[in-house]
Amino acid sequence: MSAVVARPSERGVRGWLRANSAGRVGAVIERGFRVVGAQNWIIIVSGFFEPVFYLLSMGFGLGGLIGTVTGPGGRPLSYAAFIAPALLATSAMNGALYDSTWNVFFKLRFAKLYQAMLSTSLGPLDVAGGEIFMALFRGLLYAIGFTGVIAILGLTTSWWALAMIPVALLIALGFASVGMALTSYFTTFQQMDWINIALLPMFMFSATLFPITTFPVGVQWFIMALPLWHGVELMRQLSVGVFDGSSGVHLGYFLIMSVLGVAFTTRRLRSLFLR
Amino acid sequence: MPVIEARELVKTYANVHAVDGISFDVAPGESFGLLGPNGAGKSTTMRMIGGTTRRTSGTLLVNGLDPETRGPEVRASLGVVPQTDNLDPELRARDNLIMYGRYFGLPYSYLRPKAEELLAFAQLTEKAGEKVDNLSGGMKRRLTIARSLINEPSVLLLDEPTTGLDPQARHILWDRLFRLKEAGVTLIVTTHFMDEAEQLCDRLIVMDGGLIVAEGSPASLIRQYSTREVLELRFGSERNAALVDRLRGYADSIEPLPDRVLLYTDNAEAALAKVKADGLDPVTSLVRRASLEDVFLRLTGRSLVD
């Protein structure tokens, strides 16, 4: 047999795109909407109620015992108004991570959905892009709903609160992109559990339910290095429209996290989908 | 130009050589088989052709393109039937076909009539609106094959197409595959069923442990590696091995198995008559034509299905 001479493959961005994408993210999104449309809406709506229940029980229930706390710029805030933006940040994180880790893992290993998609002319970049889009779309619905609820309850005092919706999407993108890249390293459900083990304390201690000043300075630095704290603080500032130098840092943290996360996921695409 | 040109393909997982340097060509319109036991490297080879598994080394061209660097373009002309069905459980039967076509970028004006045509081809017209989970194993398999045809592929990759199907369902499927072959589609089939390989394949490679151990048409492989006929004798598990030496004179070669002894000879009836005349009376005896199973046994000393 004669030796096969492969055509020189294209290098650079164009070559990479050719290997990994048919430029058809839209087909994956189309499937996503078709499934959402056929799904039981109660399941979808239930995700919206989770932060609402937290807000009602802790914000108003527990809040009745606590009274007023100190908000951004030293202003007094009701306890419900203090935790509501934090709950929005947390729900953006949870939803994005659930979709990009558990959901992706399940579709990859058990439903074999991606295996089917990748036996068509779709490339891994199309699949990852479509799935992240669907995660963000769901996040957008929840963010609009929850922001509406807290506005109606009078827990926002500024038009800046509307910016909480795009910021929720940015938080979701940061977590979803990193989550999908991490999923490429996981092979068992036990390993997936580590995500939950990391998430719960992050939610409890990221100044979500009480101010960070409660902790000793060393612990504060540790919490400030974690992403959720930045999301919580930024949301809290937006809800009352009071900003300081830290606002830019919080925003920058998520912009950089998203850029790095997307780059990370892109690097891991082939390991994730093409084994 | 061959549809597939593979040279020295290697795929290594952790420390296992799943595919260990295989080379082959497949011509357009040919029905090409990969025969071998589980773990021989057949499915890995199929996935490398589709560009969904990265190869460790070697070169591979599918329709002149490297599936690793041009995956989406290569797969645009491929139909893939995976070993285990991966239908979309969240879509109904018809929508499985249509949505799959959307992944290829095909328009609805083409997909709607095409989906009906393929449902009829797979004898699933009545089940078009069913949820996938409500279909039987055979129906799911036929739907998966129908799905693989949505883009009118020039090459169809079938990984163990009939494993787990009852005999009737297998024959329906083989009939459908014959029609595709007649229509000029190149079929690449992996199987560990020798009858399937004999029915479907013009030419095949026999794989074992990631290597090609033989290559040729089913008939030529049988001619080369086996005699025309085989005499199967059972003396009971205790005596089978003990009688091997006494049986050597009756055949060209002998293959003792735990439950029976195979005697390779061009005239099995005559051999059986002699065995009986010499007073060796087997519990059961069977005279049959040699098959690919015998080829595999001769090549590797093991049977295909464990």
Residue B25 forms contact with A (CB below 8 Å): yes
- For A91, A177, A260, the CA distances from A256, given in Å and listed in that order, are 20, 12, 6
Q: Which of B49, B78, B84, B103 to mutate to test the interface with A (most CBs of A within 10 A)?
A: B103
Chain A closest CA to B86's CA: distance in Å?
6
- Point out the least confidently predicted range of B61-75, B194-208, B290-304: B290-304
Residue A105 forms contact with B (CB below 8 Å): no
Q: Which of A1, A2, A4 to mutate to test the interface with B (most CBs of B within 10 A)?
A: A4
Please state, in angstroms and rounded to a whole number, the distance separating the CA atoms of residues B134 and A245.
Answer: 59
Residue B302: both structure tokens together: 């093991």
Residue B296: both structure tokens together: 């595999």
Instruction: For residue B23, tell me if it sits in a domain.
Output: yes
Query: Does B98 lie in the same domain as B51?
Result: yes
Q: Which of A11, A114, A121 to mutate to test the interface with B (most CBs of B within 10 A)?
A: A121
pLDDT of residue A6: 47
Query: Does B140 lie in the same domain as B17?
Result: yes
Instruction: For residue B305, tell me if it sits in a domain.
Output: no
Which of B157, B181, B216 is the last residue in one of the domains? B216
Residue B71 forms contact with A (CB below 8 Å): yes
Residue A95: both structure tokens together: 């939803």
Chain B closest CA to A97's CA: distance in Å?
22
Determine, for residues A120 and B104 on separate chains, whether the beta-carbon distance falls below 8 Å.
Answer: yes
- For A205, B159, B172, B173, the CA distances from B168, given in Å and listed in that order, are 62, 19, 6, 9
Q: Which of A15, A118, A273 sits opposite B69 (nearest CB)?
A: A15
Please state, in angstroms and rounded to a whole number, the distance separating the CA atoms of residues B92 and B259.
Answer: 47
Determine, for residues A6 and B61 on separate chains, whether the beta-carbon distance falls below 8 Å.
Answer: yes
Res. A10: pLDDT tops 70: no
Res. A233: pLDDT tops 90: yes
Q: Read off the pLDDT of residues B171-216 as tens digits, 9 standing for 90 and up.
A: 888 888 888 999 999 999 998 888 888 888 999 999 998 999 999 9
Residue B185: both structure tokens together: 């589609």
Which of B216, B243, B274 is the last residue in one of the domains? B216
Instruction: For residue B252, tell me if it sits in a domain.
Output: yes
Please state, in angstroms and rounded to a whole number, the distance separating the CA atoms of residues B300 and B208.
Answer: 8
Residue B150: both structure tokens together: 């949505």
For residue B5, report the phi and psi dihedrals to the nearest 5 degrees.
Answer: -125, 115
Give the residue with greater pLDDT, B168 vs A132.
A132
Query: Does B249 lie in the same domain as B192?
Result: no
Determine, for residues B88 and A113 on separate chains, whether the beta-carbon distance falls below 8 Å.
Answer: yes
Query: Does B238 lie in the same domain as B202?
Result: no
Task: Write the CATH number for B237.
Answer: 3.30.70.980
Q: Read off the pLDDT of residues B100-131 as tens digits, 9 standing for 90 and up.
A: 999 999 999 999 999 999 999 888 999 999 99
Residue A213 forms contact with B (CB below 8 Å): no
Using a pLDDT cut of 90, give the percent of chain B over it: 54
**Mean pLDDT of the region A118-147:** 90
Q: Which of B11, B44, B69 to mutate to test the interface with A (most CBs of A within 10 A)?
A: B69
Task: Write the CATH number for B66.
Answer: 3.40.50.300
* Dihedral of the alpha carbons of A30, A33, A38, A43, in degrees to the nearest 10: 150
Residue B151 forms contact with A (CB below 8 Å): yes
Please state, in angstroms and rounded to a whole number, the distance separating the CA atoms of residues B270 and B289.
Answer: 14
Query: Does B152 lie in the same domain as B15?
Result: yes
Residue A121 forms contact with B (CB below 8 Å): yes
Query: Does B203 lie in the same domain as B258?
Result: no
Chain A closest CA to B244's CA: distance in Å?
42
CB distance B158 to B85 below 8 Å: no
- For A269, B17, B44, the CA distances from A185, given in Å and listed in that order, are 11, 22, 21
Q: Which of B39, B1, B45 is nearest to B189 (CA)?
A: B45
- For A101, A131, A198, B190, the CA distances from A106, given in Å and listed in that order, are 8, 13, 20, 27
Residue B95 forms contact with A (CB below 8 Å): yes
Which of B216, B239, B262 is the last residue in one of the domains? B216
DSSP state letters, A78-136: EHHHHHHHHHHHHHHHHHHHIIIIIIHHHHHHTS-HHHHHTTTT--HHHHHHHHHHHHH
- Number of domains, chain B: 2
Residue A34 forms contact with B (CB below 8 Å): yes
**Where in the sequence is the domain holding B236, given as residue range(s)?**
227-289
| Band (A48; pLDDT cuts 50, 70, 90) | confident
Determine, for residues B95 and A7 on separate chains, whether the beta-carbon distance falls below 8 Å.
Answer: no
Q: Which of B25, B61, B72 sits opposite A121 (nearest CB)?
A: B72
Chain B closest CA to A48's CA: distance in Å?
22
Between helix A164-183 and helix A124-152 the angle, nearest 10°, is 140
Instruction: For residue B304, tell me if it sits in a domain.
Output: no
Q: Which chain A residues have a beta carbon less than 8 Å from that of B21?
A: none
Q: Which chain B residues have a beta carbon less than 8 Å from that of A115?
A: 52, 82, 86
Query: Does B232 lie in the same domain as B185?
Result: no
- What element of type H or E holds B62? strand B57-62
Query: Does B37 lie in the same domain as B79?
Result: yes
Does ipTM surpass 0.90 in this model? no
Determine, for residues A117 and B103 on separate chains, whether the beta-carbon distance falls below 8 Å.
Answer: yes
Give the residue with greater pLDDT, B293 vs B237.
B293
Instruction: For residue B303, tell me if it sits in a domain.
Output: no
Query: Does B275 lie in the same domain as B168?
Result: no
Q: Read off the pLDDT of residues B236-285 as tens digits, 9 standing for 90 and up.
A: 877 777 788 888 888 888 888 888 889 999 988 988 988 888 888 888 89
Instruction: State the sign of the Cα–Cα–Cα–Cα dihedral A135, A138, A140, A145.
Output: negative
Q: Read off the pLDDT of residues A65-81 as tens digits, 9 standing for 90 and up.
A: 888 888 888 888 999 99
Query: Does B96 lie in the same domain as B55?
Result: yes
Query: Does B243 lie in the same domain as B131?
Result: no
Tell me the residue ranges of DSSP E strands in B101-217. 155-159, 186-191, 203-208, 211-216
Q: Which of B71, B91, B151 sits opposite A19 (nearest CB)?
A: B71
CB distance B80 to B157 below 8 Å: yes
pLDDT of residue A1: 45
Residue A148: both structure tokens together: 């509406």
Q: Which chain B residues have a beta carbon less than 8 Å from that of A28?
A: 103
